[in-house]
Amino acid sequence: MAEGKLRIKLVRSPICAPQKHKDVVRGLGLHKINQVVEKPDNPGIRGMVKKAPHLLAIVG
């Protein structure tokens, strides 16, 4: 993992999740289950992940 980067994985479908959670998932650029995106490690991104912890996972 590169320094200062987070690898975020979509582990569950946001279909039955509240709209705010769906917006967070799309805002991170995730579209498919098990898709992994790499984002900068900053408080904004970490806050987005904390909004939907049941849908997202940080992988190492």
- Confidence tier at 1 by pLDDT (50, 70, 90): low
Q: What is the pLDDT of residue 20?
A: 97
Domain that holds residue 47: 5-59
- Angle CA 39–26–10, to nearest 5: 65
21-32 pLDDT per residue, tens: 999 999 999 999
CATH number of the domain to which 22 belongs: 3.30.1390.20
**DSSP codes of every residue in 1-60:** --TTEEEEEE-S--TTS-HHHHHHHHHTT--STT-EEEEE-SHHHHHHHHHSTTTEEEE-
Pick the closest to residue 58 from 3, 11, 2 (CA basis): 11
- Confidence tier at 36 by pLDDT (50, 70, 90): very high
38-56 pLDDT per residue, tens: 999 999 999 999 999 999 9
Q: What is the pTM of this model?
A: 0.89
> How many separate domains does the chain show?
1
